[in-house]
């Protein structure tokens, strides 16, 4: 067998890709292992995140040196992450489907390109610019208009009864995530809808449906795998979002959100805001617990992305990023 | 009538989505232009006032570094997957690339902070920032490159092989000339991602009020997204102005790159 | 497949033109950047990085331009990232000057014996609130009351405990929104020290630190940096926040109220040059050689209770002699009553100059930098 230097060079470069992932996973696992042992399952279930008394001498607990009173629990951040993503998807899915339907069948093909471009602009805006807009425009809007309106409309549900609060919180974070997720779902579904064969559409018309009914009852079911895959991809994006959420979420600690306007913290935003505090811990347990959060986040996003990719299968066609 | 209600709802959905787009662009462009001046490009940041010269050059340098490390691996990986990646190994790499696109950038930034900045002792550095950005953009380039090259008809390759051409020539002389618009698009998109990243750079590139001295490790560097993230929280009006100016520059750059990428695809009839 | 060869050639030419233009544009920008950076590189020899306390940040931004103008061979980058970052990056060597309102803890000193805590000035912290109608008055608050607010035991502004201190003031019946710092903060350190020293229950449950496990108060907000605290308080009616005095101008612009805080002697005081100096002078004799001491809740009839030394966290061993020399020169300039500690800098940020004995102690520590 000839030594093919060109192919080998390419192979070498390609191997760096799994090597990078492996390095990150290995590092996170090894670095956080002492924290995993110290925290146990309470890590995922406890509402209290306390770095302990960093100005007193560390004590030995569970065989490891930790600050006195240290107790690492991420339930608040898990809930924050899942709640912001769930509400974002709840809003984004119907909106995206509506937009996709509108663009696929509701406008003439000439307009479609330009209007679709507007939606794709949402995907182009960097996260930190979303944060900038969020702090300047969205948060006051939520505080003065959206949250009170929601409270007036469905305030009989305690979760939506909002009496006070700045705009920084669950609602604002979810809205920002919605805007980031919409282009992902819309472009994928739109793409799938435009590929629906003409015969299928004509068959529906032959049965006497209106255009809207045709789209809803004939086309959408045909593209359901794409929809599901796109939704899960959007979920993956929402779970990992950091900067925009950090700027509008309000930074909650040690309590779960009580209303839709409550401040929250997500795992990703918490890592950013806690890193320098964690470095004050001379025992190093705090930094390792942060790495454990990163590991949990890593595992969750991997699982979600795997499910998404399996569903948006298509020959060499990953969902549009 | 149900149809009318249905289409109205869809139209409303579209408007709900389009409004924020215009609002974001309007906000950043109007406030950014208000803060615009030639001084932005000539002066460096002085505390919370001054110009953005250091941040602008820093963003360009970090993006260039990211492409320097990222393009060989990303495009090379994509070529390998397209030409030779039909077996188990190719499937694994493809899977890993997809997973890498989904990892939150803060996880990569944290990884780089502990291993490169403090572990290897590089401290805030251009090298660490570039390497981290490269890890982020590589999987996008690899997948897009593979996608594009797979659309080159297999018959062309077979004809070239039948003529006795070696692999290198087939790829470089037959496949590449047809597929390069898509590859260029993937590189442009990777560039757009690099320009807009923040979280990983906070922990790898740090921040500097000065222009880069050329040291690869041990010297931090400024970049535009830091200004957006950090200066909007400062009370001084000059800081806010700089934040919006930086936001304006970033969004204009990212938009220009995306439009260029689209033009490349449209003119050449390539892409999906 | 498109096969119109003429059009293909034309479009290929347009393509090449577009690509060429783009690449050329990008490269020329990069080249311009590199050229611009290369030129000054030959002139400057030492770059120092300062990062940390947002309370000290405004003062550094006043010092650095004047100092670097007089000493063009030194370049100093400043960042307002929080005392926690300042300490962490000074220890790891990523930054040369870690600015911090908090001194390092005993375990930290034990682990890092080569790190110096050098006071550069004396600062204070104000407790600010945003109550519609009451922001011009000065509400009276005490340590135990603040501890009650930040632990959720005191929920409403018209609570009996607050009313007892403010007879005659019509307090609104509204939920209090306590704002705290989420980043590693020296302001949190001195605020929580005040709560710990004045309220035994707080000392037992929460204690003090640059980062503490804030008790769960529904609606409580986290803010990043002193500027974030000002913004949060401004945007949230009925909120209360602890903010460094160097932000007094922004506090005034935001229209926030400043509370009178109860000191150890039982008097209610506002932070002012007189009250802060009174508190500092009392502790000058007690300051140890390593200068790590809390100035919070000190004795003295006119002593404002929430004051602190502003520290530069410096490593005794610098990377090279040039860095060490530049660092020493800068720090000595900062503590010099004729330069950095002169009123022209300190009054803008409402800080107090270091008393002479402390300047001497700081000088001794600075001399240890190699």
Residue B127 predicted with pLDDT over 70 = yes
Tell me phi and psi for residue C250, to 5 degrees: -70, -35
| Residue-wise DSSP of C274-334 | HHHHHHHHHHTTT--TT-----TT---TT--SSEEEEEEEEESS-SSHHHHHHHHHHHHHH
Cα–Cα nearest to C203, from C141, C111, C296, C285 = C296
Contact yes or no for A55 and C235 at CB 8 A = no
Banded model confidence at residue B229, pLDDT cuts 50, 70, 90:
confident
Check: CB of residue C123 under 8 Å from CB of residue C55: yes
- What the block records as the tokens of A243 is 């900067």
pTM of the full structure:
0.86
In a domain, B178, yes or no: yes
In a domain, B232, yes or no: yes
Contact yes or no for C222 and A252 at CB 8 A = yes
Contact yes or no for C61 and B47 at CB 8 A = yes
Find residues 137-196 of chain A whose CB sits inside 8 Å of chain B: 137, 179, 182, 186, 191
In a domain, B136, yes or no: yes
C23 Cβ contact partners less than 8 Å away, ≥ 6 residues apart: none
- Alpha-carbon separation of residue B121 from A94, B113, B217, C99, C111 (angstroms): 49, 10, 9, 21, 18
Which range marks the domain in which residue B148 is found? 51-267
Longest dimension (CA), chain C: 94
- Alpha-carbon separation of residue C67 from B51, B52, C72, C364, C365 (angstroms): 19, 21, 8, 22, 21
Q: Which domains does chain A have, with CATH numbers?
A: 76-270 (1.10.3720.10)
In a domain, B144, yes or no: yes
Check: CB of residue C40 under 8 Å from CB of residue C47: no
pLDDT value, residue C243: 95
Q: Report DSSP state, residue C200.
A: H
B232 close to C (CB below 8 A): no
3-state helix vs strand vs coil in chain B, percent to 5? 75, 0, 20
Tens digits of per-residue pLDDT, A101-126? 888 888 888 888 888 888 888 888 89
Tens digits of per-residue pLDDT, B22-80? 999 999 999 988 888 888 888 888 777 888 999 999 999 999 999 999 999 999 999 99
- Please tell me the distance from the alpha carbon of residue A227 to that of residue A192, in angstroms, as a whole number: 9
Contact yes or no for A50 and C213 at CB 8 A = yes
Check: CB of residue A150 under 8 Å from CB of residue B222: no
Residue A18 predicted with pLDDT over 70 = yes
In a domain, B25, yes or no: no
Cα–Cα nearest to B74, from A320, A309, A305, A16 = A16
Question: Where residue B86 sits, what CATH number does that domain have?
Answer: 1.10.3720.10
> Which residues in chain A touch residue C236, judged by CB atoms under 8 angstroms apart?
165-166
Check: CB of residue C245 under 8 Å from CB of residue C349: yes
Check: CB of residue C140 under 8 Å from CB of residue C259: yes
Mean pLDDT by 10 residues, chain C (370 residues): 46 50 52 49 70 89 90 89 87 90 90 92 94 93 95 93 93 92 88 95 91 86 85 88 92 94 94 92 88 91 93 91 91 91 90 91 91
Q: Select the residue of A58, A255, A277 nearest C183 (Cβ to Cβ).
A: A277
- Please tell me the distance from the alpha carbon of residue C185 to that of residue A97, in angstroms, as a whole number: 45
- Please tell me the distance from the alpha carbon of residue C207 to that of residue C213, in angstroms, as a whole number: 9
Domain count for chain B, please give it: 1
pLDDT value, residue A321: 42
Chains linked to B by 3 or more Cβ pairs within 8 Å: A, C
Q: Report DSSP state, residue C138.
A: -
In a domain, B23, yes or no: no
- Please tell me the distance from the alpha carbon of residue B186 to that of residue B138, in angstroms, as a whole number: 10
In a domain, B45, yes or no: no
Cα–Cα nearest to C254, from C126, C130, C138 = C130
In a domain, B46, yes or no: no
Axis-axis angle for helices A224-240, A75-101 (nearest 10): 140
Q: Please give the ipTM for the structure prediction.
A: 0.85
Contact yes or no for A17 and B113 at CB 8 A = no
Residue A316 predicted with pLDDT over 50 = no
Q: Select the residue of C14, C75, C92 nearest B210 (Cβ to Cβ).
A: C75
Tens digits of per-residue pLDDT, B132-168? 999 999 998 998 898 888 888 888 888 888 888 888 8
């Amino acid at each position: 067998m000839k030594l093919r230097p060109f192919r080998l060079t390419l192979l070498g470069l390609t191997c760096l890709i799994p090597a990078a992932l492996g390095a990150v996973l290995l590092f996170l696992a090894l670095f956080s292992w002492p924290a995993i042992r110290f925290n146990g399952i309470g890590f995922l279930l406890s509402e209290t995140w306390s770095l302990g008394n960093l100005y007193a001498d560390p004590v030995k607990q569970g065989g490891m040196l930790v600050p006195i009173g240290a107790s690492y629990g991420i339930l608040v951040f898990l809930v924050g992450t899942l709640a912001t993503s769930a509400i974002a998807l709840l809003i984004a899915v119907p909106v995206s489907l509506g937009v996709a339907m509108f663009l696929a069948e509701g406008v003439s093909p000439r307009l479609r390109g330009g209007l679709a471009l507007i939606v794709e602009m949402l995907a182009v805006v960097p996260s930190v610019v979303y944060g900038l807009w969020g702090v300047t425009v969205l948060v006051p809007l939520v505080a003065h208009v959206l949250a009170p309106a929601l409270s007036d409309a469905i305030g009989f549900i305690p979760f939506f009864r909002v009496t006070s609060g700045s705009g920084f919180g669950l609602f604002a974070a979810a809205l920002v995530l919605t805007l980031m997720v919409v282009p992902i779902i819309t472009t994928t579904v739109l793409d799938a809808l435009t590929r629906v064969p003409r015969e299928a559409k004509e068959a529906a018309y032959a049965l006497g449906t209106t255009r809207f009914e045709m789209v809803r009852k004939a086309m959408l079911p045909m593209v359901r795998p794409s929809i599901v895959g796109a939704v899960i991809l959007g979920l993956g994006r929402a779970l990992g979002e950091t900067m925009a959420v950090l700027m509008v979420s309000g930074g909650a600690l040690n309590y779960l959100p009580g209303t839709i306007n409550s401040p929250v913290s997500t795992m990703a935003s918490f890592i950013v805001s806690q890193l320098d505090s964690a470095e004050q811990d001379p025992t190093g347990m705090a930094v390792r617990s942060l790495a454990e959060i990163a590991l949990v986040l890593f595992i969750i996003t991997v699982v979600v992305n795997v499910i998404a990719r399996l569903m948006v299968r298509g020959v060499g066609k990953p969902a549009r990023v | 009538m149900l149809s009318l209600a249905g289409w109205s709802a869809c139209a409303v959905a579209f408007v709900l989505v389009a409004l924020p787009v215009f609002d974001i662009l309007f906000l950043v462009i109007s406030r950014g232009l208000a803060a615009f001046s030639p001084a932005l490009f000539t002066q460096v940041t002085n505390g919370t006032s001054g110009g953005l010269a250091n941040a602008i050059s820093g963003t360009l340098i970090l993006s260039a570094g990211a492409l320097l490390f990222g393009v060989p691996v990303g495009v090379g990986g994509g070529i390998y997957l397209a030409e030779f990646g039909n077996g188990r190994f190719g499937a694994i790499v493809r899977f890993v690339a997809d997973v890498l696109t989904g990892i939150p950038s803060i996880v990569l930034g944290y990884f780089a902070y502990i291993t490169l900045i403090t572990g290897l002792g590089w401290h805030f550095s251009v090298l660490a920032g570039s390497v981290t950005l490269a890890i982020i953009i590589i999987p996008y380039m690899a997948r897009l490159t593979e996608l594009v090259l797979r659309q080159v008809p297999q018959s062309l390759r077979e004809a070239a092989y039948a003529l006795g051409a070696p692999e290198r020539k087939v790829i470089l002389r037959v496949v590449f000339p047809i597929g390069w618009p898509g590859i260029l698009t993937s590189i442009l998109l990777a560039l757009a991602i690099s320009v807009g990243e923040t979280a990983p750079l906070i922990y790898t590139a740090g921040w500097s009020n000065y222009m880069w001295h050329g040291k690869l490790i041990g010297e931090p560097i400024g970049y535009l997204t830091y200004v957006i993230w950090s200066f909007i929280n400062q009370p001084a009006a000059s800081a806010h102005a700089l934040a919006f100016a930086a936001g304006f520059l970033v969004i204009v750059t990212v938009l220009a790159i995306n439009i260029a990428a689209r033009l490349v695809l449209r003119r050449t009839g390539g892409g999906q | 497949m498109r096969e119109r060869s003429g059009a293909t050639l034309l479009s290929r030419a347009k393509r090449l033109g577009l690509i060429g233009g783009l690449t050329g544009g990008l490269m020329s920008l990069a080249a311009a950047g590199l050229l611009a950076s290369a030129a000054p590189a030959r002139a400057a020899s030492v770059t120092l990085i300062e990062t940390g306390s947002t309370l000290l940040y405004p003062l550094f931004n006043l010092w650095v331009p004047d100092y670097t103008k007089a000493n063009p061979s030194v370049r100093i980058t400043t960042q307002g990232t929080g005392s926690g970052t300042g300490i962490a990056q000074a220890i790891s060597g990523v930054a040369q000057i870690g600015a911090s309102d908090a001194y390092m803890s005993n375990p930290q000193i034990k682990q890092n014996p080569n790190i110096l805590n050098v006071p550069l000035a004396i600062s204070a912290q104000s407790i600010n609130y945003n109550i519609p109608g009451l922001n011009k008055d000065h509400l009276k608050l005490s340590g135990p009351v603040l501890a009650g607010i930040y632990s959720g035991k005191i929920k409403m502004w018209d609570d009996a405990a607050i009313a007892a201190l403010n007879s005659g003031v019509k307090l609104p019946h509204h939920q209090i929104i306590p704002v705290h710092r989420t980043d590693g903060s020296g302001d949190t350190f001195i605020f929580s020290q005040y709560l710990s020293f004045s309220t035994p229950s707080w000392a037992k449950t929460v204690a003090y630190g640059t980062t503490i496990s804030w008790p769960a108060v529904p609606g409580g907000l986290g803010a990043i940096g002193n500027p974030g605290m000002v913004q949060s308080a401004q945007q949230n009616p009925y909120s209360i926040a602890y903010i460094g005095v160097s932000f007094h101008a922004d506090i005034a612009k935001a229209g926030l109220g400043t509370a009178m805080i109860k000191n150890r002697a039982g008097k209610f005081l506002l932070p002012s040059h007189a009250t802060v100096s009174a508190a500092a002078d009392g502790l000058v004799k007690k300051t140890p050689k390593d200068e790590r001491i809390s100035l919070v809740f000190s004795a003295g009839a006119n002593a404002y209770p929430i004051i602190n030394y502003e520290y530069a966290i410096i490593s005794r061993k610098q990377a090279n002699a040039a860095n060490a020399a530049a660092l020493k020169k800068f720090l000595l300039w900062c503590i010099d009553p004729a330069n950095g500690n002169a009123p022209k800098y300190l009054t803008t940020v409402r800080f107090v100059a270091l008393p002479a004995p402390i300047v001497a102690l700081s000088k001794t520590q600075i001399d240890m930098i190699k």
